[in-house]
Amino acid sequence: MRHAKHFIAALCVVVVVVGAGATVLALLVPRGFTEEHGYRFRKQALVEETQKPLTYAPEKSCLQADCHGEKAPEERAIELAGGHEQMGCQACHGPALAHVQSKGKEKAPVMPEAVAELTAVCMHCHKVRAGLPKKFGSVEDFESHRSDMGGEDEETCVDCHDPHTCEVD
């Protein structure tokens, strides 16, 4: 009982510190933020995202026999290989909803022709970063990779790699 005063004083300090911390946190978190499943986020952001217009078309739209090629989608999908078989056309070629809805009258998204821009499309996925499996084809620096492989200054990834089959020419 001799140390009861010290114990009560320490308990009071802990309660005051925790209370002050909770108050400061409540004041710092902007209005509209919520916490669900351990994640804190702005609830209105979900509403805003659902109100954005769609820009990507269903993938089967690109592969119809009367649109891109003489082959049916099932046959054309077999051409994608080497890790790209699960990727949709628009992952590289860009959003195509307007093109599909206009039945081809609206210009289709095209791959960039400039070396830096085309390289950026490939490097979006193929840049070395933490968490990629070792077997994933990744490049630390494209310029060094191109030089190491004996490539010319204006060559891009697709000059050596077929993006649909991942085969090296």
Residue 36 domain boundaries:
4-51
CB burial of 90-115 (b: ≥16 within 10 Å; e: otherwise) equals: bebbbebbbbbeeeeeeebbeeeeeb
The total number of residues shown for the chain amounts to 169
Residue-wise pLDDT tens digits, 64-94: 767 775 655 455 544 666 677 777 888 888 8
Query: Do residues 60 and 74 both lie within one domain?
Result: yes
Taking residue 89's Cβ as centre, other Cβ atoms within 10 Å add up to 20
Query: Do residues 136 and 160 both lie within one domain?
Result: yes
Number of domains in the chain: 3
Query: Do residues 13 and 63 both lie within one domain?
Result: no
> Average per-residue pLDDT in the chain?
82
In sequence order, what are the beta bridge partners of 40? 35
Rounded Cα–Cα distance for residues 135 and 12 (Å): 57
Query: Do residues 97 and 116 both lie within one domain?
Result: no
The pLDDT of residue 22 is 92
Query: Do residues 71 and 124 both lie within one domain?
Result: no
**0.75 exceeded by the pTM?**
no
pLDDT-derived band at 18, boundaries 50, 70, 90: very high
The pLDDT of residue 11 is 93
Query: Do residues 63 and 77 both lie within one domain?
Result: yes
Query: Do residues 34 and 76 both lie within one domain?
Result: no
Residue-wise pLDDT tens digits, 19-58: 999 999 888 888 888 888 888 888 888 889 889 888 888 8
